[in-house]
A and B are shown apart, each in its own frame.
Chain A
Amino acid sequence: MNTSGIVRIVRIVRIALSVVVVVSMSALVLLGLVVAPPDRFQGDAQRLMYLHVPAAWVAYLAFATTSLMSALYLWHRTRRRRWDRLAAASAELGVLFTVLTLALGSLWGRPVWGVWWTWDARLITTTVLLFLYVGYLAIRRIPASEEVRARRNAIAALVAFVDVPVVHFSVVWWRTLHQQATVVTPELDPQIEGAMAAALLVGVLAFTALFFRLLWARYELAVHVDRLDADVVADAVRRRRATATDSVLQEVSA
């Protein structure tokens, strides 16, 4: 297949993904705010769960993607610059969705638990996860050669990922105020059904599609920024060489 054919397919896939995001998000709004009934105990505050749970899922997915891309970069046979870019783009999205997870959980906690924040194992480990990946993004900005920086980033991403299973199993390992798993239970027996389950499922689907669409856009931006940086460096080297050549010629003619 020639290049224009590939470009056309990529464009179609991108448009299709955007359509899936718009349609699934619209369905989520309808199901989460209109169709799903209020919870028997939590009332309408339960409707925040249709965003909180998908946001948490996407944060896990984003950090898992960052780890996978980092591992691909570290393995010498699959080492490509694109894995480092994808890892960075995914980590940035993971941070965004972790912030949303914590903010939505806090908004839900105030009417249901009576507090905005409590020193609960799930909340603490999630906050630690957020700081670990903010640290990862900060490490990425430390100057070094491209290869050294990418390898350092990859190792940092794999270390940070250790906290993801700790976050997930924190409600099992410690006695917490945060509720236990509702859908993916240890007995694989979902504790939710009907319109509520449908809203949650559509929410997970919509947020997953949104994650991949944003990842795509963020990756493309990273490619262009790297290209621009390379152009700036090449231009500076060219001007420096031209200046050096001019001064040598002046010395010779003098």
Chain B
Amino acid sequence: MTDAAFVTTGWLGTGVVVAAYGLMIRFRHHRVRRRTHPTTGGAS
């Protein structure tokens, strides 16, 4: 692997991990809100 390949893996990997964590929180938040506010479909 070249230096560029290590750098690309690191930067893209960090972006993917952080984005996945953020989306996971958002998805769980939406699911919980849907259960606590069933009539509004999760909307506040």
Give the B-binding residues of A (Cβ under 8 A). Answer: 29, 32-33, 43-45, 47-48, 51-52, 55, 96, 99-100, 103-104, 107-108, 110-111, 210, 214, 217-218, 220-221, 224-225, 227-228, 231
Contact = CB atoms under 8 A, between A and B. Distances in A.
B7 to A, nearest CB: 5
Given A111-B3, A214-B22, A221-B32, A96 B10 contact: no
A106 B35 CA distance: 42
A224 B10 contact: no
Nearest to A103: B13
B13 to A, nearest CB: 7
Interface residues of B, number: 22
Given A104-B14, A108-B10, A214-B21, A221 B3 contact: no
Interface of B: 1, 3-4, 6-7, 9-11, 13-14, 17-18, 21-22, 25-26, 28-29, 32-33, 35-36
B21 A45 contact: no
For chain B, what secondary structure do more than half of its interface residues adopt (helix, strand, loop), or is it mixed?
helix
A110 B32 contact: no
B36 A110 contact: no
A14 to B, nearest CB: 13
B7 A44 contact: yes
A218 B26 CA distance: 9
Given A100-B17, A228-B32, A217 B22 contact: yes
Contacts of A108: 6, 10
Contact of A51 (B3, B11, B22, B35): B11
A224 B35 CA distance: 10
B6 A224 contact: no
A219 B14 CA distance: 22
A166 to B, nearest CB: 25
A44 B10 CA distance: 12
Nearest to A213: B22
B6 to A, nearest CB: 5
A33 B32 contact: no
13 contacts: A33-B7, A33-B11, A43-B3, A96-B18, A108-B6, A110-B6, A210-B18, A214-B25, A224-B29, A224-B32, A224-B33, A225-B28, A225-B32
A161 to B, nearest CB: 22
Of B7, B17, B25, B35, chain A has the most CB atoms within 10 Å of the CB of: B7
A236 B3 CA distance: 58
A103 B11 CA distance: 11
A210 B33 CA distance: 23
Contacts of A48: 6-7, 10-11
A122 to B, nearest CB: 18
Contacts of B14: 51, 55, 100, 104
